[in-house]
């Protein structure tokens, strides 16, 4: 199947919109705690109700992460998990799952060192659908956007509580797939979620875009997932999942079980 | 006309020094960085602000710092005359305070009440804590756990000055990780917090702003050498970690094409050993800490731990303007090993009665190589960026002496 035959991200959002359901997007760091855990974890997440998987690319200096994801990246880096390795994991995942969209989330330097074009080509070949690079704002991203677009890789950018309307428009122009609203000022895993403020901001964003809007940062359990789902098209859960992996470092099976329990609860809360 | 066309003017309005610099941060920081840039652009041409800065630099920091002819050392080396720009004589003992005074005054004008900073050796942390004490601002300093253990005296100085020192255990628990942690604090507390970065790195406007606060070094040196010698020097030498003391000396001379410029990185155990902190000499371009610049990194784009005897040079990146000056060939970047720096540390101490910081000893180590290759009527200015009292313990330990 060539890359133009389908866009898994758009397809999934359209399907869920028709069903009146919201997307559940779990995040975990590829290679945490071990490289061989990644692909089974991805399949298990899909089984438990994940709509799209956000796979973290380990980086030595993850400036926007809270302590939970920082440690996950350190665990993965102990096994020298590289950007290339992460794409190989996605390729392996695609042998059994050709429908669930996968996006990579990480920092610019590994992509920069590989080269935007080479990255985009390899990612497309591996079956990656989108990329979220935390530290490249659209102002610096024209070559990056061009390279990703050429290979059909969606560009997911963050919008924060401090982003001006003018910049939301610029971010929308550079984006593909969906927009990702960061629900709070802070790092991943922070704890002060204000649903009313999120609702206001998401409606502003909606007035400026045709893309679906996902919300992440600070979503910990089924209850907060459900309240975010009332205002957004997709709910992104990261640190809460990584925390469960961290609590089960001695057993990959237990880690998978704990993650799936959380996702199942969230899935039920979103669908009810 | 021709002259105006060739005038050096960097960065562009988006903070790019050629292909380097820029603004590579998480979205939440875009707005506070815009706010900072607007304040910086406004106050750097504001007469009241500049007068206040000037007063502080004169009366609190103790500027101008002398330009001192190291006569005995020059004679011993047998070549060019070496002048030392005595930044070691500033309040707190290094050039760092030129910048912290400037940024803290800017923070006050912006109505920010909480100051955060990162520090490696502790010099920038001390300079920040000092200014915060002076201005009555809350001060939080992020410092790697490894550095806290290496630099206990500076940790205590910061605490005496009323700052809170927060240990950082993530990653390699050194300067780069302290910077990551300060960024995380800023992203969480942007409403009331001002982040004082200690060097000419970070996202725009930091590399330009920190440079502008440090160019007082080069502007004074330019006037002083003309008073002493009636002409400009033949060469400038300064050490480069992030590169703020170096750019401060170099920048006012960039259009003087006859003045050679040398930036000296830390070769550590030797470039060939891989244990060094010399991104310009041995690294490659990448993106870290908000800007594109030369980095010490592996083939996967992960940042590698660095090594230098001098904690202040122990950083895997370098200011983007240095990256640009290297690429356009306006400055030459060289590296001096731990051993060579130590030799210069001892020589200056014994011959001139000046104990230099280990950082500055790298610049001195290169000057000691350069001077003998030049005629006696030639002039070198070395930036003596800090005093070495803080390093006594390190040097003594290396020599097996318990102090």
Instruction: Tell whether A137 lies on the interface with B, counting CB pairs under 8 A.
Output: yes
CB contact under 8 A, A109 and B288: yes
Instruction: Tell whether A265 lies on the interface with B, counting CB pairs under 8 A.
Output: no
**Which residues in chain A are contacts of B184 at CB distance < 8 A?**
63-66, 187
Identify the CA nearest to A175 among candidates A145, A205, A155: A155
For chain B, give the percent of residues with pLDDT over 70.
Answer: 99
**Which pLDDT score, from 0 to 100, does residue A2 have?**
43
Picking from B28, B176, B189, the nearest residue to A61 by CB comes out as B176
| A contact residues 101-120, partner B, Cβ 8 Å cutoff | 107-114
Phi and psi, residue B241, nearest 5° = -105, -90
Residues of B annotated as catalytic (active site), given as ranges? 96, 118, 385
CB contact under 8 A, A61 and B288: yes
**Which pLDDT score, from 0 to 100, does residue B200 have?**
98
**Which residues in chain A are contacts of B31 at CB distance < 8 A?**
160, 162-164
Chain A interface disruption, residue of B22, B24, B189, B316, most A CBs within 10 A = B24
ipTM: 0.94
Domains of chain A: 3-271 (3.20.20.70)
**Which pLDDT score, from 0 to 100, does residue A186 have?**
82
For the segment B260-277, the average pLDDT, to the nearest whole number, is 97
Q: Which helix (H) or strand (E) holds A201?
A: helix A195-206
Query: Measured at the alpha carbon of residue B50, what is the angle toward residues B48 and B54, in degrees to the nearest 5?
Result: 115
CB contact under 8 A, A185 and B187: yes
| DSSP single-letter state for residue B253 | G
| A contact residues 162-221, partner B, Cβ 8 Å cutoff | 162-164, 167, 171, 182, 185-187, 190
For chain A, give the percent of residues with pLDDT over 70.
Answer: 98
Identify the CA nearest to B90 among candidates B139, B47, B135, B131: B131
Query: Measured at the alpha carbon of residue B398, what is the angle toward residues B394 and B401, in degrees to the nearest 5?
Result: 90
Written as six digits, the tokens of A51 are 């709509």
**What's the residue count for chain A?**
272
HSE, side-chain direction, 13 A CA sphere, residue A70: 21
Gyration radius (Cα) of chain A, Å: 17
Written as six digits, the tokens of A160 are 């924060």
Query: Measured at the alpha carbon of residue B103, what is the angle toward residues B99 and B107, in degrees to the nearest 5?
Result: 165
In which order are the strands placed within the sheet that holds B193-196? B164-168, B138-144, B114-119, B193-196
Give the bridge partners for B386, in sequence order: B94
Lowest mean pLDDT of A138-142, A196-200, B218-222, name the range. A196-200
CA–CA dist B139, B124 (Å, integer) = 12
CA–CA dist B366, B399 (Å, integer) = 22
A129-146 pLDDT tens trace: 999 999 999 999 999 999
**Which residues in chain B are contacts of A30 at CB distance < 8 A?**
none
**Which pLDDT score, from 0 to 100, does residue A4 have?**
45
* Minimal CA separation from B136 to chain A, in Å: 26
Written as six digits, the tokens of A117 are 């074009």
Give the bridge partners for B68, in sequence order: B84
CB contact under 8 A, A70 and B286: no
CA–CA dist B201, B324 (Å, integer) = 13
Whether the Cβ atoms of residue B102 and residue B213 lie closer than 8 Å to each other: yes
**Which pLDDT score, from 0 to 100, does residue A1 have?**
41
Whether the Cβ atoms of residue A121 and residue A149 lie closer than 8 Å to each other: no
A160-196 pLDDT tens trace: 999 999 999 999 999 999 999 998 888 887 777 888 8
Q: Taking CA atoms, what residue in B is nearest to A168? A: B27
Average pLDDT, chain A: 95
Chain B interface disruption, residue of A29, A31, A61, A76, most B CBs within 10 A = A61
Whether the Cβ atoms of residue A192 and residue A156 lie closer than 8 Å to each other: no
| A contact residues 13-52, partner B, Cβ 8 Å cutoff | none
Whether the Cβ atoms of residue A28 and residue A72 lie closer than 8 Å to each other: yes
* Minimal CA separation from A74 to chain B, in Å: 7
Written as six digits, the tokens of A61 are 């200096």
Evaluate if residue B2 carries a pLDDT over 60. no
Written as six digits, the tokens of B26 are 């998480």
CA–CA dist A246, B269 (Å, integer) = 38
Gyration radius (Cα) of chain B, Å: 20
Which residue shows structure tokens 């660095």?
A: B306
**Which residues in chain A are contacts of B188 at CB distance < 8 A?**
185-187, 190
Q: How far apart are the first and last CA of chain B?
A: 61
CA–CA dist B54, B63 (Å, integer) = 9
CA–CA dist B296, B353 (Å, integer) = 36
Give the bridge partners for B291, in sequence order: B288
**What's the residue count for chain B?**
403
For chain B, give the percent of residues with pLDDT over 90.
Answer: 92
CA–CA dist B321, A115 (Å, integer) = 23
CB contact under 8 A, B300 and A80: yes
CA–CA dist B62, B42 (Å, integer) = 26
Sign of the CA dihedral with A33 first, then B183, B176, and B166 last = negative
Give the bridge partners for A215, in sequence order: A181, A235
CA–CA dist A151, A20 (Å, integer) = 31
Query: Measured at the alpha carbon of residue B159, what is the angle toward residues B153 and B165, in degrees to the nearest 5?
Result: 95
**Strand A213-216 relative to strand A179-182: parallel, antiparallel, unpaired?**
parallel
**Cis ω before A33 (30° cut-off from 0):** yes
Identify the CA nearest to B238 among candidates B250, B224, B255, B230: B250
Separation in Å, CA B259 to CA B233, B254, B307, B367, B384? 6, 8, 31, 15, 18
**Which pLDDT score, from 0 to 100, does residue B5 have?**
52
CB contact under 8 A, A137 and B25: yes
Evaluate if residue B183 carries a pLDDT over 80. yes
CA–CA dist B153, B155 (Å, integer) = 5
Instruction: Tell whether A139 lies on the interface with B, counting CB pairs under 8 A.
Output: yes
Which residues of chain B are at the A interface, by a Cβ-Cβ cutoff of 8 Å?
Answer: 14, 22-28, 30-32, 170-171, 176-177, 180, 183-184, 187-191, 286-290, 292, 295, 297, 299-303
| Runs of H (alpha helix) within B318-386 | 320-327, 338-352, 358-370
| DSSP single-letter state for residue B303 | B
**Which residues in chain B are contacts of A60 at CB distance < 8 A?**
171, 302-303
**Which residues in chain B are contacts of A69 at CB distance < 8 A?**
none
**Which residues in chain B are contacts of A65 at CB distance < 8 A?**
184
| Runs of H (alpha helix) within B136-262 | 145-150, 152-160, 175-188, 206-214, 216-229, 244-250
Beta strands in B269-396 (DSSP E): 284-288, 290-295, 332-337, 379-384
Q: In B210-240, which positions are buried (b, 16+ CB within 10 angstroms) versus exposed (e)?
A: bbbbbbbbbebbbebbeeeeeebbbbbbbbb
A52-91 pLDDT tens trace: 999 999 999 999 999 999 999 999 999 999 999 999 999 9
B333-388 pLDDT tens trace: 999 999 999 999 999 999 999 999 999 999 999 999 999 999 999 999 999 999 99
* Minimal CA separation from A182 to chain B, in Å: 8
CB contact under 8 A, B28 and A162: yes
Evaluate if residue A3 carries a pLDDT over 70. no
Q: Taking CA atoms, what residue in B is nearest to A77? A: B302
CA–CA dist A41, A254 (Å, integer) = 11
CA–CA dist B153, B130 (Å, integer) = 15
**Which residues in chain A are contacts of B323 at CB distance < 8 A?**
none
CB contact under 8 A, B31 and A77: no
| DSSP single-letter state for residue A57 | P
**Which pLDDT score, from 0 to 100, does residue A6 have?**
62
For the segment B296-309, the average pLDDT, to the nearest whole number, is 95
* Minimal CA separation from B20 to chain A, in Å: 11
Separation in Å, CA A204 to CA A13, A131, B198? 20, 24, 37
Q: Which helix (H) or strand (E) holds B268?
A: strand B260-268
**Cis ω before A261 (30° cut-off from 0):** no
> Who has greater pLDDT, B256 or B4?
B256
Q: Chains A, B: CB contacts under 8 A, how many? A: 120
Whether the Cβ atoms of residue B389 and residue B355 lie closer than 8 Å to each other: yes
Written as six digits, the tokens of B311 are 């904690």
Evaluate if residue B171 carries a pLDDT over 90. no
Q: How sure is the predictor about B149, in pLDDT bands with cuts at 50, 70 and 90?
A: confident
């Amino acid at each position: 199947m060539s890359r133009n035959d389908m866009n898994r991200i758009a397809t999934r959002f359209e399907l869920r919109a028709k069903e009146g359901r919201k997307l559940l997007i779990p995040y975990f760091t590829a290679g945490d705690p071990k490289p061989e855990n990644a692909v089974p974890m991805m399949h298990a997440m899909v089984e438990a109700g994940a709509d799209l998987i956000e796979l973290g690319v380990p980086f030595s200096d993850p400036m926007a992460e809270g302590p939970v994801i920082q440690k996950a990246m350190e665990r993965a880096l102990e096994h020298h998990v590289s950007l290339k390795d992460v794409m190989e994991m996605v390729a392996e995942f695609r042998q059994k799952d050709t429908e669930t969209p996968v996006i990579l989330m990480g920092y610019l330097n590994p992509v920069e060192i590989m080269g935007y074009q080479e990255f985009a080509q390899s990612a497309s070949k591996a079956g990656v659908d989108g990329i979220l690079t935390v530290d490249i704002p659209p102002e610096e991203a024209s070559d990056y956007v061009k390279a990703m677009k050429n290979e059909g890789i969606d560009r997911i950018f963050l919008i924060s509580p401090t982003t001006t309307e003018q910049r939301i428009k610029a971010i929308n122009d550079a984006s593909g797939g969906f927009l990702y609203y960061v629900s709070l000022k802070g790092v991943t895993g922070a704890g002060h979620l204000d649903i009313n403020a999120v609702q206001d901001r998401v409606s502003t964003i909606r007035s400026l875009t045709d893309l679906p809007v996902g919300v992440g940062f600070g979503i910990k359990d089924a209850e907060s997932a459900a309240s975010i789902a009332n205002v957004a098209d997709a709910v992104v859960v990261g640190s809460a999942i990584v925390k469960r992996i961290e609590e089960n470092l001695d057993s990959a099976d237990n880690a998978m079980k704990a993650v799936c329990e959380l996702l199942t609860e969230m899935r039920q809360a979103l669908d009810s | 006309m021709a002259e105006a066309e060739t005038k050096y003017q960097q960065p562009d309005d988006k903070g790019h020094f050629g292909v380097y610099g820029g603004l590579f941060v998480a979205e939440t920081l875009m707005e506070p960085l815009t706010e900072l840039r607007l304040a910086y652009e406004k106050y750097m041409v504001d007469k009241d602000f500049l007068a206040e800065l000037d007063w502080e630099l004169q009366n609190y920091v103790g500027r101008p710092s002398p330009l001192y002819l190291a006569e005995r050392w020059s004679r011993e080396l047998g070549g060019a005359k070496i002048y030392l720009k005595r930044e070691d004589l500033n309040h707190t003992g290094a050039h760092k305070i030129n910048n912290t005074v400037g940024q803290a005054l800017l923070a006050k004008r912006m109505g920010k009440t909480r100051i955060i900073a990162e520090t490696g050796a502790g010099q920038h942390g001390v300079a920040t804590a000092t200014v915060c004490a002076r201005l009555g601002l809350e001060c939080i300093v992020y410092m790697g756990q490894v550095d806290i253990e290496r630099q206990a005296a500076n940790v205590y100085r910061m605490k005496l000055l009323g700052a809170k020192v927060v240990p950082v255990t993530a990653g390699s628990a050194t300067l780069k990780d302290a910077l990551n942690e300060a960024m995380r604090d800023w992203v969480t507390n942007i409403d009331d917090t001002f982040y004082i970065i200690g060097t000419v790195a970070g996202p725009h406007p930091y590399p330009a702003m920190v440079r502008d606060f440090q160019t007082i070094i080069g502007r004074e040196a330019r006037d002083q050498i003309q008073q002493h010698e009636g002409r400009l020097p033949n060469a400038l030498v300064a050490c480069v970690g992030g590169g703020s003391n170096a750019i401060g000396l170099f920048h006012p001379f960039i259009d003087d094409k006859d003045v050679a410029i040398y930036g000296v990185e830390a070769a550590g155990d030797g470039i060939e050993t891989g244990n060094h902190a010399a991104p310009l000499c041995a690294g490659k371009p990448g993106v870290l800490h908000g800007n594109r610049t030369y980095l010490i990194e592996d083939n996967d784009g992960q940042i590698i731990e660095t090594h230098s005897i001098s904690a202040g040079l122990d950083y895997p990146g370098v200011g983007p303007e240095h990256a640009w000056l290297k690429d356009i060939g306006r400055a030459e970047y060289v590296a001096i090993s731990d051993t060579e720096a130590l030799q210069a540390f001892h020589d200056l101490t014994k011959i001139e009665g000046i104990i230099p910081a280990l950082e500055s000893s790298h610049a001195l180590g290169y000057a000691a190589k350069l001077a003998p290759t030049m005629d006696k009527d030639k002039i070198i200015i070395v930036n003596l960026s800090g005093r070495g009292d803080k390093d006594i313990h390190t040097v003594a330990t290396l020599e097996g002496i318990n102090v």
